[in-house]
Amino acid sequence: MYITDHLIIGSGIAGLSAAQVFIKQKESVGIISKSNIYEGSTSYAQGGIAVAFQDDDTPIYHFEDTLQAGAGLCDEKAVKILVEEGPERVKELINLGADFDKQGAKFDLTKEAAHSKRRILHAKDATGKEIEKTLGKGLKESAYCQFFPNTCVIKLIQDQDTCVGCWAFHEEKPTLFMARKSVLIATGGCGQIFQFTTNPAVATGDGIALAHHLGCRIMDMEFIQFHPTTLYTGDKKPISIFLITEAIRGEGALLRNHLGKRFMPDYHADAELAPRDIVARSIFFEMQKTQHPVFLDVTPLKSHLKTRFPTVYERALKASINPLTEMIPVAPAAHYCMGGIETSVFGQTKIKRLYAAGEVACLRIHGANRLASNSLLEGLVFGHRAAHHALNLDPRIPTPEKMPDLKGVLIDEKQLRMLQEDIKKILWNHAGIVRSLTGLNQAKQQLETLSQTLPQRFPLSSLESETVSLLKVGQLVVQAALERKESLGAHFIQQ
């Protein structure tokens, strides 16, 4: 058994931001990570972090852009906190050593889709890795912080109406983790419920499933953002698909069909810089119309592509594409969940001492469609806010819970992998970029049939636990999509 003041489930930007607050106040924190501490969506974030730093930019402009992208569903109070507290949180990150790109003495800010100003701070095209490295370094060196890699949480522990810890497989051994003050869910997204996703393998929606089981409200799950441009690999797909950052279109890359025609002006006045949901659907419809892939033409950037976007350049070469002379085949893939665990602006859930922050949480900051590069800022700001709120709690001595009954027959790994693939295909085919009520009803029935193949007991392995999470979160997405019968933002119903 491990006992700590604060327990954080997840090691992305929201969790690490919260942990920084705790160690500064010399309160102990344990950070649980399902894989290694850097294997999460934060480290895959290429584009950057949006913040109003430029002389001609203000938080008000950032606020307005966020609301415009969110299609009328944003919570204005939460957005205001994001854009007003964001600059201070980013300055703290810079003071910790984050090395963002500069032109001379000024930061080299770029522009992305639906932003009215150049406000994206970046570290070439590996911004997430730079932020995670910066936040993680101080924590690794702190005596108040302990990391628990290769640890999969299977159950949150509730004492009456209060969360006091969790049960987890720590290196596949059942282990009890207890918290004197708070538990923070910062597990990121759920992109792995889809057949094609930019998310890493660990993004199986565990935090949402855990909170739902405890009785937290899960909201807005119909709003799944599909990133418009991922490297198109046809049927030969990896576990997660390589994302080609939106910043590359902000710098002048163009979308063309197989005939070389630039097609985005036919779909929206802002062309390649239209909101993500519009660009993703436009690519989807163009591929349907032509029965061919579409392409990203980055040759307008060839003079500085290697230095500004080295990750994209090198990945294209690995796929036998020379981006200086050839176009890159692209297609949309599941990328970000705008919904999640309902929280206050301090990260509080309906369960006492249980918090959530980052992509796993939902404050309606992003509304129906997230503004590009607001995700890293959200994790930074609201992980910080949740931690400060938790500092004010009085410590309590948690009462250990008996270990769950882990008896039963372990499901065969091959069978679980096949079940996961079935879930992903159902969600992709019926709850993807373009949906229909008929397809969603089919998905609901198919997922219910699959649920009957899983035993009604606690998972006996991490893989079983992930499969249960995928199924539950898939059902939540389908049910939410059925309940919202009109198209809005990333939720598009084809009549």
Among 485, 449, 473, 385, CA closest to 191: 473
CATH number for 293: 3.90.700.10
Tell me what pLDDT residue 378 has.
Answer: 97
The 3-state DSSP class for residue 433 equals coil
For residues 189-196, give the mean pLDDT. Answer: 96
Tell me what pLDDT residue 239 has.
Answer: 57
Last residue of a domain, one of 301, 316, 335: 335
> Does 152 share its domain with 23?
yes
Range of weakest confidence among 95-99, 201-205, 231-235: 231-235
Q: Which domain holds residue 476?
A: 413-483
Q: Give the model's confidence band at 53: pLDDT under 50 very low, under 70 low, under 90 confident, else very high.
A: confident
> Does 115 share its domain with 81?
yes
Tell me what pLDDT residue 355 has.
Answer: 98
For residues 76-103, give the mean pLDDT. Answer: 95
> Does 56 share its domain with 98?
yes
Tokens encoding 153: 């949480």
Tell me what pLDDT residue 171 has.
Answer: 81
Asked whether residue 407 is domain-assigned, the answer is no
Tokens encoding 400: 């250990």
> Does 355 share its domain with 372?
yes
Asked whether residue 403 is domain-assigned, the answer is no
Asked whether residue 254 is domain-assigned, the answer is yes
> Does 325 share its domain with 350?
no
Tell me what pLDDT residue 40 has.
Answer: 60
Annotated catalytic residue 276:
yes
> Does 310 share its domain with 186?
no
Residue of 89, 119, 249, 276 marked active site: 276
Share of the chain above pLDDT 90, in %: 79
Give the tens place of pLDDT for each residue, 388-424. Answer: 999 999 999 878 788 888 888 889 999 999 999 999 9
Tell me what pLDDT residue 44 has.
Answer: 60
Asked whether residue 83 is domain-assigned, the answer is yes
Q: Is the pLDDT score of 47 beyond 80?
A: no
User: Which residues, other chains included, contact 104 with Cβ-Cβ below 8 Å and sequence gap of 6+?
Assistant: none
Q: Is the pLDDT score of 236 beyond 60?
A: no
Asked whether residue 397 is domain-assigned, the answer is no
Q: Give the model's confidence band at 38: pLDDT under 50 very low, under 70 low, under 90 confident, else very high.
A: low
- Cα separations in angstroms, 311 against 191, 242, 249, 402: 22, 10, 15, 48
Asked whether residue 420 is domain-assigned, the answer is yes
> Does 116 share its domain with 259?
no
Asked whether residue 399 is domain-assigned, the answer is no
Q: Is the pLDDT score of 237 beyond 60?
A: no
Q: How many CB atoms lie within 10 A of CB 66?
A: 26
> Does 295 share its domain with 364?
no
Answer yes or no: pTM beyond 0.85: yes
Q: Please, what is the angle between helix 76-95 and helix 59-69, to 10°?
A: 130
> Does 246 share its domain with 110?
no
φ, ψ for residue 407, nearest 5 deg: -85, 150
> Does 340 share its domain with 306?
no
> Does 319 share its domain with 345?
no
DSSP string computed for 245-291: -THHHHTT-EEE-TTS-B-GGGT-TTGGGS-HHHHHHHHHHHHHHHS
User: For the chain, what is the mean pLDDT?
Assistant: 93
CATH number for 451: 1.20.58.100
Give me the number of domains the chain comprises: 3
Number of helices (H) and strands (E), helices first, in the chain?
A: 14, 18
CA-based Rg of the chain, rounded to a whole angstrom? 22
d(CA 166, CA 180): 12
d(CA 82, CA 382): 8
Tell me what pLDDT residue 397 has.
Answer: 84
Asked whether residue 406 is domain-assigned, the answer is no
> Does 201 share its domain with 254?
no
